Structure 1
Amino acid sequence: MTPVNADTAFELGRTLPALTLDARLVRIAAIAHRAVMTTSLGVEDQVLTAAIAGAARGIHLATLDTGRLFPETEALLAETRVRYGLDIVAYRPRAEDVEDFTARYGVDGFYGSREARHACCHARKLVPLARALKGADVWVTGLRRDQSGARASTPFAEWDGERGLLKVNPLADWSGEDVRAYVAAHDVPVNPLHARGYPSIGCEPCTRAVKPGESERAGRWWWERDDTRECGLHVAAKVPAYASS
């Protein structure tokens, strides 16, 4: 098997748009030594999980259990494991990292400053993500271009030079309607919070329902006045990305 690199990103960006979702995942699995899909149990990730269960079970699944998730998210994880018979491995923050954050900022100190919020995301998400992606050469995500303005240029594939792996977004060109149609057609289990106005769901203290006219991710870290806010998981690639549409 040839090494996965930036040239692979270009090739995937060129070929994936013409394929069905199942075919996209089969293609991704075929080029990877180890592919890992990280799921937040959001509706896009549930679509990918269902498709992986049916067409590409060689793709490993992982989730980041931050310790501050909604009970509905935790229940959905258990239901999804049973429904699809998949081993979705949960990666949790290290106790010492959480303790260090709490000692410096307080339990809910992330409300106090951007620095504190990023420190919390680092401890509860970025450090566990590094463990989840250890040994992987392909990282599969549920990013879509129409989730927010910050994600409007999401490519199908990009070389993540910082992590030394290929990041692939098989749903990059899907609309919210495409996602909902797939859920209905395949009876995919979804978080009940979606029906209560939460299109994007993260940690419970950091997520609110969106208001009419707001973007899907407006309810994340809503107290920060920045439409491009992210937790740091999806940093910009270090080499040019290949969008293809």
Structure 2
Amino acid sequence: MSRRSRRKKTKDLQGFLILTVCATVFCSLFVGYYFIKDSFVARDEISLCRSDGVVSRETVLVFDATDSLSETQALVIKKRIKRLVENSKIDERFTVYVLSDLVGGFSPKLSVCNPGDGQDKSELIANKRKLYSSWKESFVDKIEVSLDQLIGDYTSTSSPIMEMIKFASVNTMIDSPSDQRRLVIVSDMLHHNDKFSHYRDNPVFKTLKGKPYGSEVRPYLGNVSITIFYVQRSKSMAHQNRGHIRFWEEYVSDGGGQVIKVETIN
């Protein structure tokens, strides 16, 4: 083979290698673009919830602010809620309600979704450290701050717990796009108003159910699991007992839900 022929063959081989490399790079960029595009989820800037309305699990936190917590009770509750938040699912929505003695003035204090901490992403297409920092600041810390603001000295003349549960069930649960729904209540569960009181009336659910007020406060808890952080009051030990817990188990069951856990906070 002549020198000229060898030179031409070398150039042809170099050209082929260059074309192969370019094609490989182009294909990689093409695949990478569509991978990133498919993994991108549009979210509301404030709530961080998906713009398409997808919610993996609906979680409602009801915090009873009609009475004060001790320092240790507040600490335990913050740790329990923090664990719930940090172990939540991606696209799980948390809505925080505050129970006061103002019936008719109920409204969510906060509603925010878990956008994910980025630890499931590849370093090739995502800044995992930045995603984690954003997740903590915009999701975890936001809920913690809302709880900090709720812990203080409170004294109310009434505690309409059943009205709040019904309101939250109608306002958030009844039309939730998620099949997984849970309600977390932080309270002494001592319902008290002029229509029914655990301090005054027979704390047996069938007694309440037989009254018009029982129908009035019946919640919509279909497919909802309930966890109660049962705040113990030294002044109310005579009212806080197994029979009192049974009342709430039956109340929840009558509304279509299920109490799956009761943890005493002393």
Q: Which has the higher contact order (CA 8 A, sep 6+)?
A: 1
Larger Cα-atom Rg: 2
Query: TM-score over 0.5 for the alignment?
Result: no
TM-score by length of 1: 0.31
